[in-house]
Amino acid sequence: MQNTTYDAIIVGGGLSGLIAALTIQKAGYKTAILEQTNRLGGLCGTQIHDDYEFVLACNDFGQGFVQILKELDIDIDFIPIKNLFYFEQTAIQLPPNISTAFRLLTQANNFRKLINGFKEEKHTTLQQVLDGGSFPAHFKDYVNLISYASGASPHDMSLETIKELFSKEYNYGYEKSVIPKGGTQHLANQLVEYFIKRGGEVFNNTTYISHSFQNDIHKIQTLDGTFEAYKVVSSLGRWEDYPENSKPSLSLSMLCLAISPPFKYPKGIHAISYFPRNMEAWLHQLDQGLVADTFGFHFFKSDLDTGNKYQAINVYFFAPRGEDFPTTTRKREMESYILKHIERILPGFHDHILYSKYLSAGEYQQTNQCSSIVSQYLVPTGFQKPSIYKQETDTYYIGNSVYPPGEHAGGAVLSGKLAGTMVAQSLSKKNSVVVAQE
Ligand SMILES: Cc1cc2nc3c(=O)[nH]c(=O)nc-3n(C[C@H](O)[C@H](O)[C@H](O)COP(=O)(O)OP(=O)(O)OC[C@H]3O[C@@H](n4cnc5c(N)ncnc54)[C@H](O)[C@@H]3O)c2cc1C
């Protein structure tokens, strides 16, 4: 049992937990983080296989996150990135270069039709809009980038979700993405350093079990004893408040590749994607648990400090739903398909592979103790994510299970900021009541 009663305790030291903790701390309150593993960052971190380090999960961030860090007086270096998308032979760069801008301009009419389709009341999913507009196949593939990024078939992409992703209100800013200098674990470590320097406390290897609320104090049970706090913020999520007809997106499988330094990865480019024609068909097939003969994938080079011994590349791809532990033969087929297409895009790549590790979705979960599901719940139209605060238990929730929308780090950190602000306001009211009574 700890002797201290903290103003606030945060359960889970992922990005949402770190931002909530830093926000409450900035308002002057004594804050601690309980984290079940031996490192902080959650999905923002690295994994090590046979002495080779790779990005664990999230790798690129939007301007909204950068802005939140500024508000917290946190100085972290990011690198602006460009991404390349190969739709078979056609390459598009985002943010657009001149040739992409020209290509997109030629699609102005289709974009207009697409926006009108979004406005039609009868349409609730992206698939309905695409079916209703007699769009050319290549244009549908461009639009379905959104479905791929969400790990979902366009049949499951609700228009509300898409609108929210691009809403000015949330200002996620992924159109000008950045990656952290030094890699993702370095980013998380810097946040932890700020938190500790400013007086915060971190309890690693401390697994939360439950908490109860009595006489204005929360008692938090962990595998390593009880903690006390006036406020509790939990990144365990409010999944129990989701409707039965929501479903998880596809989970990512991963190929971690160490590439020898002489190989020239395209300068200034972060991620490269390959998409065969008819994205809606192969995404739908994968979603139905069927093997797709052709499927898309993307890969990126991270900014990890590897001592110039290798270049750390992650390849992300979706296996058929449910194929969490594929056979060795299936894995070989998937890997050789992926490497064949990377070789076409980047000739000479294959000869520079020093090391390769295939992690299916199931193996990823077992190795890293976290899930590679891209969107935990694809929700039916009309469902709004639960709010941050749950009055019954006086608990604040953060992460992708609660408001605001968006199944990405941008949404998670915004929830951390909002929950942190609400906790600080509530603590200040509580303290002013105590002073007034005195
Ligand atoms: C493969 C993959 C790639 C992604 N790529 C991107 C990307 O490029 N850009 C992007 O913006 N988003 C990306 N995302 C989404 C992004 O990673 C998440 O939105 C974000 O990291 C969520 O942060 P979080 O703090 O809410 O949750 P998490 O990172 O999951 O953190 C939760 C923390 O709580 C801890 N915890 C859990 N249970 C307990 C317990 N009982 N007691 C104590 N501690 C506990 C966990 O160990 C963990 O540290 C990706 C997601 C995946 C799966």
Mutate to test the pocket of ligand 1, among 207, 367, 408 (most ligand atoms within 8 A of CB): 408
Half-sphere exposure of 383 (CA within 13 A, CB side): 19
What per-residue confidence (pLDDT) applies to 97?
94
Q: Which residues does a 6 A CB cutoff place in the pocket of ligand 1?
A: 11-17, 34-37, 42-44, 57-61, 207-208, 235-236, 252, 370, 372, 374, 399-400, 408-410, 412
Residue nearest to atom 45 of ligand 1 (CA): 12
Which ligand 1 atom minimizes the distance to the CA of 237? 26
Closest ligand 1 atom to 34 CA: 43
Query: Ligand 1 atom 4: the closest Cα is on which residue?
Result: 58
Residue 370 CA: which ligand 1 atom is closest?
30
Q: How far is the CA of 68 from the centre of ligand 1 (A)?
A: 18
**What's the chain look like in SS3?**
CCCCEEEEEEECCEHHHHHHHHHHHHCCCCEEEECCCCCCECCCCEEEECCEEEECCCCCECHHHHHHHHHCCCCCCEEECEEEEEECCEEEEECCCHHHHHHHHCCHHHHHHHHHHHHCCCCCEHHHHHHHCCCCHHHHHHHCHHHHHHCCCHHHCEHHHHHHHCCCCCCCCHHHCEEECECHHHHHHHHHHHHHHCCCEEECCCCEEEEEEECCEEEEEECCEEEEEEEEEECCCCHHHCCCCCECCCEEEEEEEEECCCCCCCCCEEEEEEECCCHHHHHHHHHCCCCCCCCCEEEEECCECCCCCCEEEEEEEECCCCCCCCCHHHHHHHHHHHHHHHHHHCCCCHHHEEEEEEECHHHHHHHHCCCCECCCCECCCCCCCCCCEEHHHCEEECCCCCCCCCCCHHHHHHHHHHHHHHHHHHHHHHHHHHHHHC
Predicted confidence at residue 380, as pLDDT, reads 86
What are the mean pLDDT values of the chain's consecutive 10-residue runs (438 residues total)?
Answer: 87 98 98 97 98 97 97 97 94 94 94 95 94 94 96 94 87 94 97 98 98 95 96 95 93 98 95 97 97 96 94 97 97 97 97 98 96 92 92 96 93 98 93 58
Q: Whose CA is nearest to atom 7 of ligand 1?
A: 58
Between CA 156 and CA 178 the distance in angstroms is 28
Q: Which is the closest atom of ligand 1 to the Cα of 61?
A: 11
Ligand 1 center from residue 58 Cα (angstroms): 8
Residue 400 Cα, ligand 1 centroid: separation in angstroms? 8
Cα(187) to ligand 1 centroid in Å equals: 14
> From ligand 1's centre to the CA of 8, what distance in Å?
21
Closest ligand 1 atom, CA of 174? 11
426 vs 424: CA distance, rounded Å = 5
> What domains, with CATH codes, occur in the chain?
5-47+179-244+377-437 (3.50.50.60), 82-176+249-368 (3.90.660.10)
Nearest atom, ligand 1, residue 65 CA: 11
The atom number, within ligand 1, closest to the CA of 411 reads: 19
Q: What residue's CA is closest to ligand 1, atom 17?
A: 58
Nearest residue (by CA) to ligand 1, atom 11, is 409
- Measured from the Cα of 15, ligand 1's closest atom is 25
Please report, for residues 91, 183, 205, 323, the alpha-carbon distance to residue 77 in angstroms, rounded to integers and kept in the order given. Answer: 29, 10, 29, 38
pTM exceeds 0.85 for this model: yes
Ligand 1 pocket mutation pick from 34, 39, 58, 81 by most atoms within 8 angstroms of CB:
58
Q: How far is CA 340 from the centre of its chain?
A: 28
- Would you state the pLDDT for residue 3? 80
My answer on whether omega of the bond before 243 falls inside 30° of 0, hence cis, is no
